[in-house]
Amino acid sequence: MSTDATARRFVSYIDKSRAYYAAQGYGTPYRWARPADRPALSRLPGPLSTLRVGLVTSAFPLPPTGAEAPVEVPYATPVEPLPTGLFTADDNRDRSAAPANVAGNYSISLANDTNGCMFMNWDGVTTPGVPLDITQSGTSVTGSVGGAGGAYLDVLFGSHAFVGNVSGNHIDMVLHGTNATTVGTCRLMLDAHASVDLNGDALANGTITYTYVTNADSTCPIYTQTCSSVQLFNGTRPPTR
């Protein structure tokens, strides 16, 4: 569960489910069941402090580090101590109880990887110490690149701010370019998609994938329609504990 007072401390199940099924093409919005008749209610047999309350969930307590995921069978567990997180083996559901607190001032290191878009001066280039300021509101995040890297993105893309969301400890952000390069009647812009996991205070397994967006003119090089170039990155923020 998130400990950041500025971030949502619960999972918006109905909102996430509605967005998921809408993305699958279902026309009717996912919604809570609403009976036509008012359900029959009964008085409690005694004071609440003397009763046992049960909670039904499709998730499991997180397995010990290195252990295999639990088999999805019915189980029961006490509510104290509270679990630090919940697990589900299905990608269609949330993997943790709430989005992690990913906000912070990071220093990241970049390493150019594959170059399908044939960018110039790409191969073998590494860039350490790039400032990245991530702000967060619930599941929404903005990543602002600072320093010379941010100034370079302003020239190339028209902005130095990635926007996206966080799910569990995974961050996805996109920077849509607005500055176009014109070659004859072909207009080219760039998009960048950043994907990374936060482990404690460290960003790990990060990738930034660059792709072209064109005006679909017949003079645009064919490779710009499908190519991608990738940077790898990791980084750290000051300790949050």
Kindly state the helix (H) or strand (E) to which residue 173 belongs, with its residue range. strand 170-176
Torsion of CA 51, 55, 60, 62, to 10 degrees: -60
Listed range (20-24, 95-99, 125-129) with the worst mean pLDDT: 95-99
CATH of the domain spanning 104-236: 2.40.128
Phi–psi pair at 51, nearest 5 degrees = -105, 160
**Which DSSP state fits 168?**
T
All CATH 2.40.128 domain ranges of the chain, comma separated, are: 104-236
Residue 48 and residue 199: Cα distance in Å, rounded? 40
Q: How long, in residues, is the chain?
A: 241
> What tens digit of pLDDT does each residue of 91-109 get?
444 444 467 899 999 999 9
Q: Band of the pLDDT at 189, cuts 50, 70, 90?
A: very high
Question: Whole-prediction pTM value?
Answer: 0.62
CB hemisphere CA count around 1 (13 angstroms): 8
Residue 108 and residue 129: Cα distance in Å, rounded? 5
Inform me whether the pLDDT recorded for 1 exceeds 50.
Answer: no
Nearest Cα to Cα of residue 140 among 106, 173, 107, 95: 173
Average predicted confidence (pLDDT) for the chain: 83
Q: Tell me, what's the pLDDT at 195?
A: 94
Inform me whether the pLDDT recorded for 10 exceeds 80.
Answer: no
Of residues 213 and 37, the one with the higher pLDDT is 213
> What tens digit of pLDDT does each residue of 168-179 get?
889 999 999 999
Residue 88 and residue 142: Cα distance in Å, rounded? 27
Tokens describing residue 211: 């792709």
Residue 132 and residue 144: Cα distance in Å, rounded? 6
Q: Band of the pLDDT at 88, cuts 50, 70, 90?
A: low
> What tens digit of pLDDT does each residue of 201-239 get?
999 999 999 999 999 888 998 888 889 999 999 999 999
Q: Tell me, what's the pLDDT at 98?
A: 61
Tokens describing residue 156: 């190339």
